[in-house]
Amino acid sequence: MAGSRSVVLAALIANGAIAILKFFGFLLTGSAAMLSETYHSISDTGNQVFLLIGIRFSGRDADRQHPFGYGKSQFFYSFLVSVFLFGIAGWESAKHGWNQLTSGGHGGGHSGEAVDLLFVTFTPPTWLDPVWVNYTVLIGAFVFETWALYKARTEMQRQMSANDWGSYREAFKKTSDVTTLTALTEDTIALVGIVIALVGITLEQLTDNPFFDQVSALLIGLMLMGFALALAWENKRLILGESLQPDVEAELREIVRTYPGVASIVDFRTVYFGPERVLVTADVQFEDGMETDEIDDAITAIEEKLQGAETGIKKVYIEPEI
């Protein structure tokens, strides 16, 4: 939990600074790609606020209405991040780029052109070279975003090492820490967006054609919307109550099945009730002739072995079948 919070705080600081830089870059240049990147960074900043709220709520103690605690709040707030913030930012970015393309609007890079912002028309100073403004802002954003990505990647690698996951693909498939997963993915997407914006702005300057800047804005928006769908799907599976991966569940079943005195497993289920919090239930048929005290001791021992096998297992309920 502490690792996830530090990752989110790092991303919050970085994205807040980046959003301000990009917004002023847009004001001074009128670049379509820069406006899309501003939407992107504003959404990223909002993301971190939602994720911090999720972390705070998930730490609340269990009560009568929530006997297994509030761990799933992280799944819920991460889902809100994907649907509202990434979706809205992606849509606004793509819409702006598309409108610029289809209306024949000018891209950035032409110093002195007025920029309409809500009820205010801002005219950049004539001496300002928009090329260097855009490059300076985006390079600065790249530095901030790289720092945030480093923090998220370090936490994910710690989890990979602790769970013996061999690749990021396996980690993304098995992790229940959606907070770190969201931060890691959004920081990666942010760096890709910065690169797209840099390429678009550079090509515009070289060709004096605003098409490249406008296409960059459209691509950034489409990329954000694609990520929104992927993140929403990842959180949906956990909100609905996903079980452990089949290979992990099979190992746990084997622990129960091979324990002395166990005749068979009638039913076995696992479900996430929060990040790295797993509930295990099992209906077990014990061998004939076992005394009640022996069965109780066996159940206690099995529960301890299951919890020792997977650090995420917090609750185990074993029901003896007669």
pLDDT at 109 over 70: no
Q: Are residues 28 and 111 in the same domain?
A: yes
**What average pLDDT score do residues 117-140 get?**
66
pLDDT at 220: 86
Whether residue 270 is found in the same domain as residue 214: no
Taking all residues of the chain, what is their mean pLDDT, rounded to a whole number? 83
Mean pLDDT of 254-279: 92
Instruction: Give the pLDDT of residue 119.
Output: 42
Domain with 213 in it: 2-239
The answer to whether 124 touches 112, Cβ cutoff 8 Å, is yes
pLDDT at 128: 62
pLDDT (tens digit per residue) in 148-167: 888 888 888 888 888 788 88
Q: Is the pLDDT of residue 53 over 60?
A: yes
- The verdict on 72 and 138 lying in the same domain is yes
Dump pLDDT digits (tens) for 12-31. 888 888 888 888 877 777 77
Q: What is the domain count for the chain?
A: 2
Query: What residue type is 273 in one-letter code?
Result: F
Residues 94 and 162 in one domain: yes
The stretch 215-238 carries a mean pLDDT of 86
Rounded to whole angstroms, what are the CA distances from 104 to 34, 95, 178, 209, 217?
17, 14, 41, 11, 14
What mean pLDDT do residues 31-45 have?
Answer: 78
**pTM, two decimal places:** 0.72
pLDDT at 130 over 70: no
Instruction: Examine the pLDDT at 136 and tell me if it is beyond 70.
Output: yes
Residues 218 and 266 in one domain: no
Cα-to-chain-centroid distance, residue 39: 17
The Cα 14–Cα 149 span in angstroms is 10
Alpha carbons 258 and 249: distance in angstroms, whole number: 14
